[in-house]
Chain A
Amino acid sequence: MTVKKKVKRPVRSNAKLISENEALIHELAEAKETLRAIQNGEVDALVVSGQNGEQIFTLKNADQPYRIFVENMHEGAASLSVDGTIFYSNRCFAELLGVPIEDLIGTSIFDFIKAEGVVEFSYLLSSENSHRRSSTFDFTTSKNQSIPFLISMSPSEIGGGNGVSMIATDMTQQIQIKEYEKQSKELAEAVRARDEFISIASHELKTPLTSLMILSQLQLKMIAKNDPKAFEEDRVKDLASKTVAQTERLNILVGDMLDITRLKSGQMSMKKSNTDLFKLCNSAIERLSAQFISSGCKPPLISGTKTMGYWDPMRIEQVINNLLINAMKYGNNSPIVVTISSTNEVARFSIMDHGNGISQIDQSRIFHRFERAISANEISGLGLGLYISQQIIESHNGKIWVNSENGNGSTFYFELPLGY
């Protein structure tokens, strides 16, 4: 059996409680004000009453300028224990984190560091290295904003134990400036590439234009002179076929320029249908055979069999044409071999020439827009062919690449998923 003991509570009237509360509130306000005044350096000395009478603690000693400096500076400053507990924070750091100082003290710095920085931060905290250690960390403020801080730590004793003093510099602006600098560099490069492209494109367009202009004006001159040659059937035919060839060339150049614009704006659509890669290759070679022969090059040998897939035949033929013409341009008139092979999943096309080959550095460049391994002065063309080809192959989820060694010829490959 238990006996409940009656606890005697001191009896206080409501009025007394209220007045005690008021006194406590007043004391708290006074204490807060004192703290604020000390932090702001407005207090020279404190008089503390004790058993031994009143003692004077002066604050206007050698430390005061430093305290004001740390409190008022526009960088975050804090003292941490090695486990990351915040012992002290200046006003700026608390403001940056969006937490009142009194709430910040005693919490862990890790509450604010983004996950990816935690390991490195604890390493810096516990490092035996007595030198200054610094790195950049992303913090999350109480308002869920992200702030990149450059943190510099130096070891210091806190309350007799090990700890670190830390300066936190808000890097938001610097990082933004760097980002802008990077962007403006990229833009300048894009403008340069575009200008070069326009210059090459206009040069390329002017060649067939010159030929067209001279030939048609010559015809007019001959007609004006009543030159019977102007009306000879063979001559008229020859003129017409040259005109057609030049306008076709102009059309291809303009087509390439349009493709580039379409690719850039993502408007190049693929019209896929059941397509035989082998047949496509044969007809492309056949169509180019006259051009091969006139450039002093034998038409390529082709090996392979019927290889069906679900692709855009016109676009894939464009890629094959491009690779064939490249092999003709750069293959030093050596034999060219085209091979078609396939597995259950992919079809592979390869074209091997025995030209000068492509250096490692150029191999990484040639698929970029406006790039070619040889300078614009050397070979005509817009330098867009491989870039457009790559875009076409990639929009079929395939890949295109080159194996080459300087002096030992090049083999270009592309691989296409069958797409069924």
Chain B
Amino acid sequence: MKKRILIIDDAKEIHESLNEALGFEGYEVSSAFHGLDALQTLARMDDKLLPDIILLDLMMPVMDGHKFLEEILVANNARYAHIPIVVMTAKADPVFNGTNRPIALLSKPMTIDRLFETVRCFIL
């Protein structure tokens, strides 16, 4: 079965390019445009269809990446605890507080190889 990836980013062009690249690698990709959109998408998903990895942008409208991490890592811990979250950001050195750490960081702009490696590395 195809591994599933949820991409959370407010930029349409990021979705377009990552969907195509990750689709080419054989992943099934779903999209959310901000943190709240992602939480709602996740809540609607069947447990068996939850993503195997989440790629998360930080600067987004409505609910940014930090707030999303807080929500998913603390508030809804049980259901999503197993999903690795990789932050993709253009910020030089993003700061996370102790409990809200992503599993890895991808600095934008990343190469396609670095994207594939990171995803392969953290998908169980």
Render A225-248 as a binary contact track against B, CB cut-off 8 A, 1 for contact.
000000000000000001001100
> Across the A-B interface, how many residue pairs have beta carbons closer than 8 Å?
77
- Which of B21, B62, B108 makes the CB contact (< 8 A) with A209? B108
- The answer on a CB contact under 8 Å between A213 and B13 is no
Stretch at the interface among B40-48, B95-103, B110-118: B110-118
For residue B18, CB closer than 8 A to chain A, the reply is yes
Task: Please indicate the chain A residues that have their CB under 8 angstroms from the CB of B20 in the complex.
Answer: 214-215, 218
For residue A380, CB closer than 8 A to chain B, the reply is yes
For residue B26, CB closer than 8 A to chain A, the reply is no
- Which of A208, A210, A246, A377 makes the CB contact (< 8 A) with B59? A377
From A202, A211, A245, A249, name the one whose CB has the most chain B CB atoms within 10 angstroms: A211
* A246→B13 CA distance, assembly (Å): 8
For residue A376, CB closer than 8 A to chain B, the reply is yes
Shortest beta-carbon distance from B37 to chain A in Å: 14
Task: Please indicate the chain A residues that have their CB under 8 angstroms from the CB of B62 in the complex.
Answer: 378
- The answer on a CB contact under 8 Å between A376 and B111 is no
Task: Please indicate the chain B residues that have their CB under 8 angstroms from the CB of A210 in the complex.
Answer: 14, 17, 88, 90, 108-110
- The answer on a CB contact under 8 Å between A202 and B90 is yes
For residue A221, CB closer than 8 A to chain B, the reply is yes
For residue B60, CB closer than 8 A to chain A, the reply is yes
* A246→B88 CA distance, assembly (Å): 19
Shortest beta-carbon distance from A90 to chain B in Å: 61
Chain B positions 14-40 with a Cβ under 8 Å from a chain A Cβ: 14, 16-18, 20-21, 24
Residue of chain B at shortest CB distance from A221: B112
Shortest beta-carbon distance from B97 to chain A in Å: 16
- The answer on a CB contact under 8 Å between B108 and A380 is no
From A214, A221, A242, A245, name the one whose CB has the most chain B CB atoms within 10 angstroms: A214
For residue B52, CB closer than 8 A to chain A, the reply is no
- The answer on a CB contact under 8 Å between B60 and A217 is no
Given contacts A218-B112, A221-B112, contact A211 B90 (CB under 8 A): no
- The answer on a CB contact under 8 Å between B90 and A203 is yes
* A209→B92 CA distance, assembly (Å): 15
Shortest beta-carbon distance from A397 to chain B in Å: 37
For residue A222, CB closer than 8 A to chain B, the reply is yes
Residue of chain B at shortest CB distance from A230: B24
- The answer on a CB contact under 8 Å between B90 and A242 is no
Majority-rule SS of A interface residues: helix
For residue B11, CB closer than 8 A to chain A, the reply is yes
Task: Please indicate the chain B residues that have their CB under 8 angstroms from the CB of A199 in the complex.
Answer: 91-92
Given contacts A207-B108, A217-B112, A218-B24, contact A377 B17 (CB under 8 A): no
* A39→B73 CA distance, assembly (Å): 83
Task: Please indicate the chain B residues that have their CB under 8 angstroms from the CB of A182 in the complex.
Answer: none
Chain A positions 190-227 with a Cβ under 8 Å from a chain B Cβ: 199, 202-203, 206-215, 217-218, 221-222
- Which of A203, A221, A245, A379 makes the CB contact (< 8 A) with B13? A245
Render B58-96 as a binary contact track against A, CB cut-off 8 A, 1 for contact.
011110100000000000000000000000101110000
* A209→B10 CA distance, assembly (Å): 15
Task: Please indicate the chain A residues that have their CB under 8 angstroms from the CB of B109 in the complex.
Answer: 206, 209-210, 212-214
- The answer on a CB contact under 8 Å between B16 and A242 is yes
* A210→B16 CA distance, assembly (Å): 11
* A294→B14 CA distance, assembly (Å): 16
- The answer on a CB contact under 8 Å between A211 and B61 is no
- The answer on a CB contact under 8 Å between B17 and A211 is yes
Given contacts A202-B90, A376-B59, A377-B61, contact A207 B24 (CB under 8 A): no
* A378→B60 CA distance, assembly (Å): 5
Residue of chain A at shortest CB distance from B9: A207
Shortest beta-carbon distance from A8 to chain B in Å: 106
Given contacts A203-B90, A213-B109, contact A218 B21 (CB under 8 A): yes
Which A residues are within 8 Å of any B CB, using their own CB? Answer: 199, 202-203, 206-215, 217-218, 221-222, 242, 245-246, 249, 374, 376-380
Q: What are 20 A-B pairs with beta-carbon distances under 8 A?
A: A199-B92, A202-B90, A207-B11, A207-B90, A209-B108, A210-B17, A211-B14, A213-B110, A214-B17, A214-B18, A214-B112, A218-B17, A218-B20, A245-B13, A246-B13, A376-B59, A377-B61, A378-B62, A380-B11, A380-B59
Given A210-B88, A212-B17, A246-B13, 20 additional A-B pairs, CB 8 A: A199-B91, A199-B92, A203-B59, A206-B90, A206-B108, A207-B90, A211-B11, A211-B14, A213-B109, A213-B112, A214-B18, A214-B110, A214-B112, A215-B17, A215-B20, A217-B21, A222-B24, A374-B61, A378-B61, A380-B11
